Amino acid sequence: MQEAFEPAGDEVFRMNHFHILTGGPGAGKTTLLAALQEAGYGVKEEVGRDVIRRQMAAGGDALPWKDSLAFSAEMLAAELRLHEAHAGQGAPVFCDRGIPDVLGYMQLEGLDRLPQAARLLARANQAARQWRYAEPIFILPPWREIYETDHERRQDWATAVATHDAVKAVYAALGYRLLEVPPGSPAQRKDHVLAQLKRPA
């Protein structure tokens, strides 16, 4: 696994061009990202899905249903590599999740209570404090009518709701202002998000 860049000490990188979309799985983040990309904005896809695809193709075990700790480590490393690659850019990038989502996942899976996860948990906490995103953080609430599983998304509805609650709590604990993106058409949700970018901080 390629080493990822991590700020030294208390150094803070303000990724004010990174706009995070978060929430539980199946809430419409991918569809909203596609609408934003079609409108001409840069997007960053969810690293978790990319990790799952790569691990399944390689026959690896760093999968949420096999080794959730290894999966968490791969997600954190992937997030850090992407952050390093985009750190010097200024154009808005809409991101399907961010580093705090890794912390939310670890807490949801109970990894924060395992001694063998302590080192990774400390790295994830430090990274979440040092890589700071634009505000508000856009959170998409659970939406039962559109929720469905697939080959990579195997969580049931209850887990999707619990994931939403976990990541929301993590971002709030990190001091972020969160803004809910209500259910609606992709165009309505896109307009709701873009309207916030035009408002004074």
At residue 61, the pLDDT reads 97
* Lookup: tokens for 49: 């899905």
Neighbours of 66 (CB within 10 A): 11
CATH architecture for residues 14-197: 3-Layer(aba) Sandwich (3.40)
> Would you say residue 3 has pLDDT above 90?
no
Does 85 or 129 have the greater pLDDT score? Answer: 129
Integer Cα distance of 91 and 197 in angstroms: 12
20-41 average pLDDT score? 94
> Would you say residue 15 has pLDDT above 50?
yes
- Strand-strand pairing, 137-140 and 18-23: parallel
Q: How far is CA 150 from the centre of its chain?
A: 19
At residue 142, the pLDDT reads 87
- For the question of whether the overall pTM of this predicted structure is more than 0.85, the answer is yes
Pick from 81, 94, 78, 83: nearest CA to 14: 83
At residue 40, the pLDDT reads 96
Distances (CA, A) of 120 to 48, 74, 134, 175, 188: 16, 10, 25, 22, 38
Does 47 or 3 have the greater pLDDT score? Answer: 47
At residue 150, the pLDDT reads 57
At residue 90, the pLDDT reads 83
Per-residue confidence at 197, pLDDT binned at 50, 70, 90?
A: confident
pLDDT digits (tens, 9 = 90+) for 4-14: 555 556 788 89
Neighbours of 74 (CB within 10 A): 23
pLDDT above 70 coverage of the chain, percent: 89
At residue 159, the pLDDT reads 86
pLDDT digits (tens, 9 = 90+) for 151-185: 555 667 888 899 999 999 999 999 999 999 999 99
Q: Give the DSSP H/E element, type plus range, for residue 18.
A: strand 18-23
> Would you say residue 2 has pLDDT above 50?
no
At residue 127, the pLDDT reads 96
